[in-house]
Amino acid sequence: MNFNFRLPTLKVYLIIFSFLSVFFLTVCKDNNESSTSDTELTELQLRALKISSPMPDNAFLEGMDQSDELIELGKMLFHDPRLSKSGTLSCHSCHNLATFGVDNLPVSIGHGWQRGVFNSPSVLNAAFHKSQFWNGRAETVEQQAGMPILEKFEMASTEKHVIEVLSSIPQYVTMFGVAFPNDAAPVSYKNVETSIGAFERTLITISPFNDFLAGDENSLTDLQKDGLALFIETGCHTCHRGQVLGGEIFAHFQTPAERASGNISPGRFEITEREADKHFFKVPSLLNVVHTYPYLHDGSIWDLSQTIVLVAKEMLNKDLTNEEVDLLTEFMGSLTGVLPNETMQLPLLPASTSDTPLPDFSL
Amino acid sequence: MNFNFRLPTLKVYLIIFSFLSVFFLTVCKDNNESSTSDTELTELQLRALKISSPMPDNAFLEGMDQSDELIELGKMLFHDPRLSKSGTLSCHSCHNLATFGVDNLPVSIGHGWQRGVFNSPSVLNAAFHKSQFWNGRAETVEQQAGMPILEKFEMASTEKHVIEVLSSIPQYVTMFGVAFPNDAAPVSYKNVETSIGAFERTLITISPFNDFLAGDENSLTDLQKDGLALFIETGCHTCHRGQVLGGEIFAHFQTPAERASGNISPGRFEITEREADKHFFKVPSLLNVVHTYPYLHDGSIWDLSQTIVLVAKEMLNKDLTNEEVDLLTEFMGSLTGVLPNETMQLPLLPASTSDTPLPDFSL
C-alpha cells in the first residue's frame, strides 16, 4: 500500500498541541472540582446524608420494565376519566400534577360528591414509600393505583368496566400490546395497575435539599441550613427519614379534631387487626410539604407552622419556640421540587368508539 | 489606510463561486415551489377556501394585549380549582385539554354533582366563534370565561370568593400586577376574565384540513377530498362555514330526545325573548368533531355517523346513503388538530396562604 500524506509542518503540530492542552486542562479542572466537592462535604451535609439521600432518576426496582411505551401508557391512564364510572374522575382529579400531586382538600370528593375517609397523599415520589395509603393497605404504587378506581366513594368503577372501556379503544389495545409484548391478553386490570405504577415511578421531584445532599453546599440558604440542623437536633428525623423524609414507618397519632369529636380512626389496626397498630398511621413524606396542605391523616390542619408545633409536641413532647418553628418552616421550603416539563405535559387521549361503555352518573 | 490582504488564488474563487451557486439554486428552488403551490391551487382547494380559511397563530383581536405574562396567568387560572366554591372544579374540569377541550359527557357534572343544562362545547378554537354558549349568551371568550365560575350548578363561586382567593396568594398578586401594569387594582374579576380569555385565544388546533387550505394539496387523503367535495355539494357548509366550520349563525334545531320527552329547549329565545329565536341554537364548530362527542346541544347522540344522518335530514332534508355518510365522516377526520406542546403543559400553581378562603363542599 502507498500512503500519500503530506507531513504537517511544525506550526500545525504546535496548533494541535495547544488545542489538546486546553482540552485536557479543562477536563482535569472539571474532574478536580467534582472530586473536591465529594470529599469536602460540610459537616451538615454529612449529617443530612445520615437521614436521607439524593434522588435517583426514577423509582423503578431492579428488573422492572421501564420502557417509554409503558410509561406513556401509564400517563394516559392516569389522566383518563373514562376509567371511572361517571367518566369524570381520573387519578389526576385527586392527584393533580398542577398542585404537587394532591387536591388540597381535607378529603377528596369522589363519585356522587361523596367524601373520602383520609386526606389524599401526594402521588409525587410515592413509589419511595415503603407502603401506600395512610394505613399502608397497599405495598406498591402499582397495588395502590388499582384501588381508588374501584372504591365506591372514589372512582366507583369495576375491573370489568375498565377493561371494557380500554378494549373498545383501538389505540389503547395497540399500546397495551406494545407495552406488554409477552402477554397473551395484554389489556388486563393488572397491566392497568402496572402501567399507572410505571408512570408514577417517574414522578420524582428534585428539591434544593436534594441538591444539598448531592453535594451542592450552596443550594440551601443560611436559614434553611439552620432549619435543617434544628430538624435533626429536635429529632424530627426519627420518623421523617429516608429517601422522602417519611413513608417508612407507622406512628401512633390522633388529631385534635378526632379527639374533639371522639371519632378516632383505628388507622392501621383496620388492616392488620393487631392491637399494637391501633391509631397508627404511616408517617407522611415531607417532600413538597409547603404545597401538600391540609395536613394530618384527616386533613384537619391547614397551617404548616401549626402542624409543626402539634407534631413536635405529640411525637417528641417538645415545646418549640416561635423562632424554632420559623426555622423548621424555612427548611421545609427547601423540600419543594418540580417535575420535568415532559412529565407535566398532558397526554392526548384517544377517542371512544361505539363499543365504549357510556358514563353513568348514578350512585 | 493600508489593506494588507493576501489575494486568494483562482482556485479559492472557484470554490466560493460553487458554494454561492448551490446556495442560490436552493433558495430559488424553494421560492419557486412555494409560489407554484400558491398559484396552482386545485379546484377543490379553491372551493374549500370559499367556505373556510387557514388558521392564524392566535385569535387575538387588533389592539388586544397578547403578553406572555397575561397568557401564562390565564393558563394558571384556567387550571386552578380554587376559583370554584368547592376547590375541586376548574375550567379544565369540563374543558379538559387532554380530551380536545371537552369532557365527553352529555352534560357536565358540577358543584354537588349537579348536572349542566347543555353539552359543554370545546374551548379549543372557541375565540373564533361569533358568540359563545349554545344560546349565544356571551359574545367573547372573555365574557364566557367568567360565567361558569359563578353558575350555581357549575363552579358555584362568587366574584368575591375569586378575588379573595387570588388576593391571598402573593404570586398571583404579582402576576396580575405584571399582566395589567396600568391597572390601579389589577386583581379584579374583569381581569380574571381577560386573562382566561387571553389563554383561550391561543388554543388553536392545526388540522390536515387547515394545511389543505394553506396550500398543501397532499395533506388530505383521496377519501377525505371526496368527503370534502361531498360536504360542499350536500350544502353542509350553509351552516358549518367560516374559520371553524360553525360558530357563526344560529339555526332551528330540536333533538330526537327532546321531541321524545316533550321537553324542548327554548334555545336562544331564552336570551333574546324573540319568537324568531325559539329553539334556535348556535351551529357548533366541526373542528376536532371526531373527539367532541356526544353531539347536539343536549349531548344525546354519541355516534358521529348517526349525527350526520340526522342533521342532514333535519337541516337540509337530505337522505344520505351509507357511502355518503362514510365519506363525510372521512372528511371530518381531517379536522382533528393538536395543540402545541407548551400549551399542553400543566402550570405549577402557587400555594394558598392562611388568608385563602377554604373550600366549601356544601350546596
- Same domain (yes/no): A163, A196: yes
Considering only CA atoms, which of A268, A252, A261, A265 is closest in space to residue A311?
A252
Vertex A198: Cα angle to A195 and A204 (nearest 5):
145
Q: Which residue of chain A has the CA closest to B340?
A: A345
Q: Using CB atoms within 10 A of its CB, is residue B314 exposed (0-12), middle (13-18) or buried (19+)?
A: middle
Q: Which of residues A204, A233, A258 is at a domain's end?
A: A204
Quick check: A113 and B361 CB within 8 A? yes
Of A109, A293, A344, the CB nearest to B352: A293
Query: In B140-214, which ranges are continuous DSSP H helix?
Result: 141-150, 159-167, 170-179, 189-200, 208-213
Residue B250, H or E segment: strand B250-252
Distance from CA of B108 to the nearest CA of A (A): 9
Considering only CA atoms, which of A189, A202, A181 is closest in space to residue A145?
A189
Quick check: B99 and A302 CB within 8 A? no
pLDDT tens digits for A291-307? 999 999 999 999 999 99
- Same domain (yes/no): B108, B178: yes
> In whole angstroms, what is the distance from residue A93 CA to residue A83 CA?
12
Query: In B201-297, which ranges are continuous DSSP H helix?
Result: 208-213, 222-234, 256-261, 269-272
Q: How confident is the model at residue B17 (pLDDT cuts 50, 70, 90)?
A: low
- Same domain (yes/no): B257, B302: yes
Measured between beta carbons, which residues in chain B are less than 8 angstroms from residue A89? Answer: none
Looking at residue B136, its pLDDT comes to 97
Q: Which residue has the higher pLDDT, B118 or A3?
A: B118
Mutate to test the interface with A, among B77, B99, B306 (most CBs of A within 10 A): B99
- With an 8 Å Cβ cutoff, the interface of chain A facing chain B consists of 79-82, 86-88, 93, 96-100, 103-105, 109, 112-113, 115, 290-291, 293, 302-303, 338, 341, 344-349, 351-352, 354, 358-359, 361
Q: Which residue has the higher pLDDT, B313 or B13?
A: B313
Residue B3 lies in a domain: no
Distance from CA of B115 to the nearest CA of A (A): 9
pLDDT tens digits for A188-211? 999 999 999 999 999 999 999 999
- Same domain (yes/no): A103, A219: no
> Residue A213 belongs to what domain range?
208-333
Of A347, A359, A361, the CB nearest to B98: A347
- Same domain (yes/no): A87, A177: yes
Is the model's pLDDT at B2 over the cut of 90? Answer: no
Q: Which residue of chain A has the CA closest to B333?
A: A351
Is the model's pLDDT at B1 over the cut of 50? Answer: no
Looking at residue B341, its pLDDT comes to 95
Quick check: A99 and B303 CB within 8 A? no
Would you please indicate which residues of A are annotated as catalytic (active-site) residues?
Answer: 154
Q: Which one-letter amino acid corresponds to residue B71?
A: I
Considering only CA atoms, give the Rg of chain B.
25
Looking at residue B95, its pLDDT comes to 98
Backbone angles phi, psi at B206, to 5 degrees: -105, 115
Residue B267, C-beta contacts closer than 8 angstroms, at least 6 positions apart: B134, B135, B250, B253, B277, B278, B279, B280, B281, B297
Is the model's pLDDT at B33 over the cut of 90? Answer: no
Backbone angles phi, psi at B109, to 5 degrees: -100, 125
Residue A38 lies in a domain: no
Looking at residue A3, its pLDDT comes to 44
DSSP B280-303: EEEPPP-TTGGGSPSBTTTT-B--
Residue A354 lies in a domain: no
Quick check: A303 and B97 CB within 8 A? no
Q: Which of residues B184, B204, B224 is at a domain's end?
A: B204
Residue A191 lies in a domain: yes
Measured between beta carbons, which residues in chain A are less than 8 angstroms from residue B103? Answer: 81, 87-88
> In whole angstroms, what is the distance from residue B136 CA to residue B119 CA?
14
Looking at residue B176, its pLDDT comes to 98
Averaged pLDDT, A302-323: 98
> In whole angstroms, what is the distance from residue B74 CA to residue B81 CA?
13
Looking at residue B14, its pLDDT comes to 52
| Residue A127 · residue A200 · CB < 8 Å | yes
Mutate to test the interface with A, among B79, B84, B88 (most CBs of A within 10 A): B88
Q: How confident is the model at residue A215 (pLDDT cuts 50, 70, 90)?
A: very high
Q: Which of residues A169, A204, A239 is at a domain's end?
A: A204
In chain A, DSSP finds a helix count (H) and a strand count (E) of 15, 2
Looking at residue B36, its pLDDT comes to 42
Q: Which residue of chain B has the CA closest to A351?
A: B291
- Same domain (yes/no): B236, B328: yes
Residue B35 lies in a domain: no
On average, the pLDDT of chain A sits at 92
DSSP state of A97: G
Is the model's pLDDT at A26 over the cut of 50? Answer: no
Q: Which residue of chain A has the CA closest to B80?
A: A98
Of B103, B341, B349, the CB nearest to A98: B349
- Same domain (yes/no): B123, B175: yes
Q: How confident is the model at residue A18 (pLDDT cuts 50, 70, 90)?
A: low
pLDDT tens digits for A354-363? 999 999 999 9
Considering only CA atoms, give the Rg of chain A.
25
Considering only CA atoms, which of A210, A197, A167, A168 is closest in space to residue A185?
A167
What is the reported pTM?
0.89
Residue B339 lies in a domain: no
* Helices A170-179 and A159-167, packing angle to 10 deg: 100
In chain B, DSSP finds a helix count (H) and a strand count (E) of 15, 2
pLDDT tens digits for A53-63? 999 989 999 99
Residue A346 lies in a domain: no
Write out the three cell numbers for B176: 396580575
Q: Which residue has the higher pLDDT, B11 or A165?
A: A165
Of A97, A302, A303, the CB nearest to B346: A97
Looking at residue A25, its pLDDT comes to 46
Cis before B208 (ω within 30):
no
User: How far apart, in Å, are the Cα atoms of A350 and each of A171, A193, B99, B253, B308?
Assistant: 6, 19, 8, 29, 21
Looking at residue A16, its pLDDT comes to 53
DSSP state of B359: P
Measured between beta carbons, which residues in chain B are less than 8 angstroms from residue A348? Answer: 98, 100, 338, 344
- Same domain (yes/no): B179, B235: no
Averaged pLDDT, B195-222: 98
Measured between beta carbons, which residues in chain B are less than 8 angstroms from residue A103? Answer: 81, 87-88
Residue B236, C-beta contacts closer than 8 angstroms, at least 6 positions apart: B312, B316, B328
| Residue B150 · residue B159 · CB < 8 Å | yes
Residue A324, H or E segment: helix A322-333
On average, the pLDDT of chain B sits at 92
Where are the extended beta strands (E) located within A170-314? 250-252, 280-282
- Same domain (yes/no): B261, B324: yes
Of A79, A302, A352, the CB nearest to B358: A302
Distance from CA of A288 to the nearest CA of B (A): 11
Domain count of chain B?
2
- Same domain (yes/no): A165, A252: no
Q: Which one-letter amino acid corresponds to residue A80?
A: D
Quick check: B351 and A290 CB within 8 A? yes
Measured between beta carbons, which residues in chain A are less than 8 angstroms from residue B88? Answer: 93, 103, 105, 109
Averaged pLDDT, A326-340: 97
Looking at residue A9, its pLDDT comes to 54
Looking at residue A19, its pLDDT comes to 55
Quick check: B302 and A354 CB within 8 A? yes
Residue B42, C-beta contacts closer than 8 angstroms, at least 6 positions apart: B217
- Same domain (yes/no): A189, A167: yes
> In whole angstroms, what is the distance from residue B344 CA to residue A345 CA?
5
pLDDT tens digits for B60-70? 999 999 999 99
Query: In A219-255, which ranges are continuous DSSP H helix?
Result: 222-234
Looking at residue B4, its pLDDT comes to 45
Averaged pLDDT, A177-182: 98
Of A293, A346, A354, the CB nearest to B97: A346
pLDDT tens digits for B262-315? 999 999 999 999 999 999 999 999 999 999 999 999 999 999 999 999 999 999
Looking at residue B32, its pLDDT comes to 41
Quick check: A359 and B302 CB within 8 A? no
Task: Give the active site residue among B33, B40, B154, B164.
Answer: B154
Measured between beta carbons, which residues in chain B are less than 8 angstroms from residue A107? Answer: none
Q: How confident is the model at residue B18 (pLDDT cuts 50, 70, 90)?
A: low
pLDDT tens digits for B65-93? 999 999 999 999 999 999 999 999 999 99
Vertex A62: Cα angle to A60 and A65 (nearest 5):
60
- Same domain (yes/no): A76, A198: yes
Residue B283 lies in a domain: yes
Looking at residue B7, its pLDDT comes to 47
What is the dihedral angle through the alpha carbons of A164, A168, A169, A174, rounded to the nearest 10 degrees?
90
Specify the CATH number for the domain of residue B284: 1.10.760.10
